[in-house]
Structure 1
Amino acid sequence: MSIDWQVFFLTFSTLFIAEMGDKTQLAVFSLVTESRNPLSVFLGASFALALVTMIGVLFGGLVTRYVPQHFLKIGAALLFVGIGFYTLYEVFSSGAVVK
């Protein structure tokens, strides 16, 4: 098995940007402040993210055997748009928007 460095760096940069400032990073920050044990939090979070990534890779490999890539891209796009509209709906229906 060889490494495709272009795919490696694309994956790294995409996930690095996507994870920066998200709820996982905030949870890790909170856990470090509570436990005062950054090494344990780092190792636990690293293994958790590696496991979640492995599940995604295995599931993605399985799904791509049966579903064409363009259908997966359309499905992912619709899911992200749907989540965005749901989030907007929740914000506006809760009255959290300043008028």
Structure 2
Amino acid sequence: MFYSMWFEAFSVSTGIVALAEIGDKTQLLALLLAARFKKPWPIVGGIFAATVVNHALAGAVGAWLLTLIGPTGLRWGLGLSFLAMACWMLIPDKLDEEDTRLRDGAGVFLATLIAFFLAEMGDKTQIATVMLAAKYPLLWPVVLGTTLGMMLANAPVVWFGERAARFLPTRLVHGIAALLFAALGVLALLGIGMP
């Protein structure tokens, strides 16, 4: 039972975030960092470190919400949040000027870590991590899954550049992610799969 719940939290978190990240502003930032620095290892390392910290914080907020809100409030809150996320997935992302400012004196790893951490604040995938951590009572499979999803979407962009970013049709991928978020929303509103 524990392992199946762990695997479900991990695999759903991985899949949803990997799909949600395609064409996201942080993926565009990964492409910009790769073009600017041309040093994939420290960029991927910075993305990984920023994502682990950011998503661990987001997961902690989600776990806290799980203890704060009663089962009925949680069910409605998650259901409506997942439906809102489904709508948000259909809106294309763009990089803000603030997201692209990098500290000139920082090394590639530190510049990537700071830029990626800040760009991820309030981003779709961070909010999805909060919601997934509130849905699943196991925090670490969610954080590990969302981190893996981010890496699956961003590492190829760093390594292979723009060709990797264009490999998948962004609108189709966002449509699939929106359907998954909508399905999670409906299931949550019906109380199916809730803790």
Q: Structure 1 residues 21 and 82 mapped into 2: Cα distance closer, same or farther (>3 Å)?
A: closer
Structure 1 residues 38-47 or 75-84, which shifts more? 75-84
Identity rate, percent: 18
Deviation at 1:66, TM superposition (A): 1.2
| Structural RMSD (CA) | 2.4
- The aligned length equals 84
- Matched residue, 2:11: 9
2:43 counterpart letter in structure 1? V
- Matched residue, 1:72: 77
Query: RCO greater where, 1 or 2, for CA within 8 Å and sep 6 or more?
Result: 2
Q: 2:19 & 2:87 partners in 1: Cα distance?
A: 22
Q: Does 1:43 align with 2:45?
A: yes
TM-score (norm 1): 0.70
1:71 counterpart letter in structure 2? W
Q: Structure 1 residues 12 and 61 mapped into 2: Cα distance closer, same or farther (>3 Å)?
A: same
Q: 1:44 & 1:6 partners in 2: Cα distance?
A: 27
Structure 2: gaps of 5 or more residues: 92-195
Structure 1 residues 36-45 or 2-11, which shifts more? 2-11
- Matched residue, 2:61: 59
1:39 counterpart letter in structure 2? W
1:21 aligns to what SS in structure 2?
A: coil
Structure 1: gaps of 5 or more residues: 88-99
Cα-to-partner distance string for 1:50-78 (whole Å, 9 max, x where unaligned): 11110111111111111132232255257
TM-score (norm 2): 0.38
Deviation at 1:7, TM superposition (A): 1.7
Q: 1:58 & 1:36 partners in 2: Cα distance?
A: 34
